[in-house]
Amino acid sequence: MEDNAPLDREDAQLIEVRTAAIPHVVPTLRTIVADIAMRQDFDLDAVEDLRMAVDEACSMLLPSSADGKLTCVFSWIEGRIEVTVSVVADTPDHGDDTGLSWQLLTALATSARRTVTPADGRYLSRVQLVRESEVAHP
Protein backbone atom coordinates (compact mmCIF):
# COMPACT_ATOMS: atom_id res chain seq x y z
CA MET A 1 0.00 0.00 0.00
CA GLU A 2 1.19 3.49 -0.82
CA ASP A 3 2.24 5.58 2.18
CA ASN A 4 1.83 9.29 2.79
CA ALA A 5 4.41 11.39 0.99
CA PRO A 6 6.14 13.87 3.32
CA LEU A 7 8.56 16.58 2.28
CA ASP A 8 11.27 15.17 0.03
CA ARG A 9 14.12 17.14 1.56
CA GLU A 10 16.51 15.13 3.70
CA ASP A 11 16.70 17.84 6.38
CA ALA A 12 12.90 17.95 6.94
CA GLN A 13 11.61 16.85 10.33
CA LEU A 14 8.89 14.20 10.40
CA ILE A 15 6.35 12.75 12.82
CA GLU A 16 4.00 9.97 11.73
CA VAL A 17 1.01 9.00 13.86
CA ARG A 18 -1.01 5.86 13.15
CA THR A 19 -4.11 5.64 15.26
CA ALA A 20 -7.71 4.53 15.44
CA ALA A 21 -10.04 6.46 13.13
CA ILE A 22 -12.17 7.84 15.95
CA PRO A 23 -13.03 11.44 16.86
CA HIS A 24 -11.35 11.10 20.27
CA VAL A 25 -7.86 11.23 18.71
CA VAL A 26 -8.40 14.45 16.76
CA PRO A 27 -7.55 16.77 19.71
CA THR A 28 -4.19 14.99 20.05
CA LEU A 29 -3.43 15.54 16.36
CA ARG A 30 -4.45 19.19 16.70
CA THR A 31 -2.07 19.55 19.65
CA ILE A 32 0.82 18.01 17.70
CA VAL A 33 0.43 20.41 14.77
CA ALA A 34 0.08 23.38 17.12
CA ASP A 35 3.27 22.41 18.94
CA ILE A 36 5.18 22.06 15.67
CA ALA A 37 3.89 25.43 14.44
CA MET A 38 4.81 27.20 17.70
CA ARG A 39 8.31 25.72 17.63
CA GLN A 40 8.65 26.97 14.05
CA ASP A 41 7.69 30.49 15.18
CA PHE A 42 4.37 30.62 13.34
CA ASP A 43 2.17 33.44 14.62
CA LEU A 44 -0.79 32.61 16.85
CA ASP A 45 -3.33 33.00 14.04
CA ALA A 46 -1.42 30.53 11.86
CA VAL A 47 -1.18 28.07 14.78
CA GLU A 48 -4.95 28.21 15.26
CA ASP A 49 -5.54 27.92 11.51
CA LEU A 50 -3.44 24.76 11.44
CA ARG A 51 -5.36 23.30 14.38
CA MET A 52 -8.65 23.89 12.62
CA ALA A 53 -7.32 22.60 9.29
CA VAL A 54 -6.22 19.31 10.88
CA ASP A 55 -9.62 19.06 12.54
CA GLU A 56 -11.40 19.57 9.20
CA ALA A 57 -9.16 17.09 7.36
CA CYS A 58 -9.79 14.42 9.98
CA SER A 59 -13.52 15.13 10.02
CA MET A 60 -13.64 14.66 6.25
CA LEU A 61 -11.82 11.33 6.32
CA LEU A 62 -12.88 9.60 9.56
CA PRO A 63 -16.29 8.44 8.27
CA SER A 64 -14.77 6.69 5.24
CA SER A 65 -12.15 4.63 7.11
CA ALA A 66 -12.75 1.00 6.11
CA ASP A 67 -10.23 -0.55 8.49
CA GLY A 68 -10.73 1.74 11.48
CA LYS A 69 -7.29 3.31 11.11
CA LEU A 70 -6.07 6.83 10.38
CA THR A 71 -2.54 7.96 9.55
CA CYS A 72 -1.33 11.52 10.01
CA VAL A 73 2.12 12.63 8.86
CA PHE A 74 3.51 15.98 9.97
CA SER A 75 6.64 17.24 8.21
CA TRP A 76 8.26 20.64 8.49
CA ILE A 77 11.25 22.73 7.52
CA GLU A 78 12.11 26.43 7.38
CA GLY A 79 8.67 27.98 7.88
CA ARG A 80 6.72 25.31 6.02
CA ILE A 81 4.53 22.64 7.58
CA GLU A 82 2.91 19.83 5.63
CA VAL A 83 0.23 17.62 7.13
CA THR A 84 -1.06 14.55 5.32
CA VAL A 85 -4.06 12.73 6.76
CA SER A 86 -5.12 9.44 5.20
CA VAL A 87 -7.45 6.50 5.60
CA VAL A 88 -8.12 3.35 3.62
CA ALA A 89 -11.63 3.51 2.15
CA ASP A 90 -13.86 0.96 0.44
CA THR A 91 -14.93 3.34 -2.33
CA PRO A 92 -13.14 6.00 -4.39
CA ASP A 93 -15.81 8.56 -3.50
CA HIS A 94 -14.01 11.33 -1.67
CA GLY A 95 -16.83 13.71 -1.01
CA ASP A 96 -17.61 17.15 -2.26
CA ASP A 97 -14.62 19.41 -2.88
CA THR A 98 -16.96 22.38 -3.17
CA GLY A 99 -18.67 21.94 0.21
CA LEU A 100 -18.30 24.12 3.27
CA SER A 101 -15.71 21.84 4.93
CA TRP A 102 -13.46 21.95 1.88
CA GLN A 103 -13.87 25.71 1.53
CA LEU A 104 -12.90 26.16 5.18
CA LEU A 105 -9.93 23.84 4.80
CA THR A 106 -8.58 25.69 1.77
CA ALA A 107 -9.01 29.03 3.55
CA LEU A 108 -7.00 27.82 6.55
CA ALA A 109 -4.04 26.38 4.62
CA THR A 110 -1.63 27.88 2.11
CA SER A 111 -2.63 24.98 -0.12
CA ALA A 112 -4.70 21.82 0.19
CA ARG A 113 -5.44 18.89 -2.04
CA ARG A 114 -7.39 15.69 -1.79
CA THR A 115 -6.45 12.51 -3.62
CA VAL A 116 -7.75 8.97 -3.88
CA THR A 117 -5.39 6.21 -5.00
CA PRO A 118 -6.23 2.54 -5.61
CA ALA A 119 -4.52 0.35 -3.01
CA ASP A 120 -4.88 -3.43 -2.64
CA GLY A 121 -8.52 -3.56 -3.74
CA ARG A 122 -9.42 -0.53 -1.67
CA TYR A 123 -8.58 3.17 -1.90
CA LEU A 124 -6.12 5.36 -0.05
CA SER A 125 -8.02 8.59 0.59
CA ARG A 126 -5.70 11.45 1.49
CA VAL A 127 -5.88 15.13 2.39
CA GLN A 128 -2.62 17.06 2.19
CA LEU A 129 -2.30 20.51 3.73
CA VAL A 130 0.56 22.96 3.44
CA ARG A 131 0.92 26.03 5.61
CA GLU A 132 3.77 28.46 5.12
CA SER A 133 4.82 31.02 7.70
CA GLU A 134 4.36 34.68 6.83
CA VAL A 135 7.88 35.26 8.18
CA ALA A 136 9.37 32.67 5.83
CA HIS A 137 7.55 34.07 2.80
CA PRO A 138 6.87 37.81 3.18
13 close to 82: Cβ distance less than 8 angstroms = no
Q: CA–CA separation, 105 vs 72, rounded Å?
A: 16
The pLDDT score that the predictor gives to residue 137 is 47
Among 138, 89, 79, which residue's Cα sits nearest to residue 118? 89
Among 11, 4, 27, which residue's Cα sits nearest to residue 80? 11
129 close to 74: Cβ distance less than 8 angstroms = no
Q: Please give the average per-residue pLDDT across 1-13, as a whole number.
A: 58
The pLDDT score that the predictor gives to residue 95 is 67
The whole-model pTM stands at 0.87
Residue 5 pLDDT > 70: no
Q: How many helices (H) and strands (E) does the chain have?
A: 3, 5
Tens digit of each residue's pLDDT (9 = 90 or more) over 34-81? 999 999 999 999 999 999 999 999 999 999 999 999 999 999 998 999
